Amino acid sequence: MQITVHPQYKEKEVLIPQLIDVFFDSGDLIVQGARNTIKSNFLGTEKVNIKFFQKPGLFKSIIYSFFRSTKAKRSFDYANYLLENGIATPFPIAYIEQKNSFGLLQDSYYICQQIDYDFTIRELIHDPLFPERNVILEQFAAFTYKMHEARVNFLDHSPGNTLIVKKGEGQFDFYLIDLNRMKFETLSIEARMDNFKKMWLSKTMVKVIAKKYAALSGESEVKLHQILLEKTKAFKGKITRKKYLKRKLKLMK
């Protein structure tokens, strides 16, 4: 077991192996996915999140062992990059890699601080009357703009991957999660709008975000609205077609 711990948590490093050993037997389940499992548990007296990345197939195991960083390491490294650039994310505590006798990756884990959030963008999508909806969307646009200015292309920028904490009247904090798929590059204005497409925005939401992003970037509001609306429509159409074909194939069986 190879453990890499953030310097601020070095004194708790001895507790981490025990946390991993009991991962499947204790703690509170947060997400049970086909490939990943997320639980919360206590590292000493502090509540933390542990994300388990399931053993990859042989080919990917070779890739992750010798040619590319593991998902756990990327999550840790990307979280540090985000924080260094003033972009909030749950604080990265450690990542763990378990390899076999041939040096091939078996399992890996990422541990970060627990964020007690109030909601995500998903709630705003489903409820047009959500309190302070436009204010939240404007601040979310500003948060994303800051991310883009830091050369972050978050490939999983989707409704559930930004946690939102209400700090007071009209004041909200945003935290990125599920970090292992990012590119670091200078983004054109079209690429920036494309990065919003997975948010599943309504026409009203598109209008609010385009207006705020235009004010921050100095770009034309009309131009951004047109690009963002086109990107959003194309993405929704693609997903809808996929679902339709999937249902059709299922009925044909």
Q: Give pLDDT tens digits along the chain (253 positions).
A: 899 999 999 999 999 999 999 998 989 999 887 778 999 999 999 999 999 998 877 777 888 787 888 999 999 999 999 999 999 999 999 999 988 877 788 899 999 999 999 999 999 999 999 999 999 999 999 999 999 999 999 999 999 999 999 999 899 999 999 999 999 999 999 999 999 999 999 999 999 999 999 999 999 999 999 999 999 999 999 988 888 777 777 777 6
Give the residue ranges of DSSP H helices in 167-220: 189-194, 203-217
Residue with tokens 């921050």: 216
Q: What is the pLDDT of residue 31?
A: 87
Who's near 235: CB < 8 A, 6+ residues apart? 197, 198, 200
Name the DSSP letter for residue 27: S
What pTM was estimated for this model as a whole?
0.90
- Provide the angle, in degrees to the nearest 10, between the axes of the packed helices 221-252 and 203-217: 140
- Provide the angle, in degrees to the nearest 10, between the axes of the packed helices 203-217 and 133-149: 50
Q: What is the pLDDT of residue 125?
A: 93
| Contact criterion met (CB below 8 Å) for 53 and 104 | no
Strand 152-154 vs strand 119-120: parallel, antiparallel, or unpaired?
unpaired
Q: Residue 98: in which H helix or E strand, if any?
A: strand 92-99
Distance in angstroms (rounded) separating the CA atoms of residues 213 and 117: 24
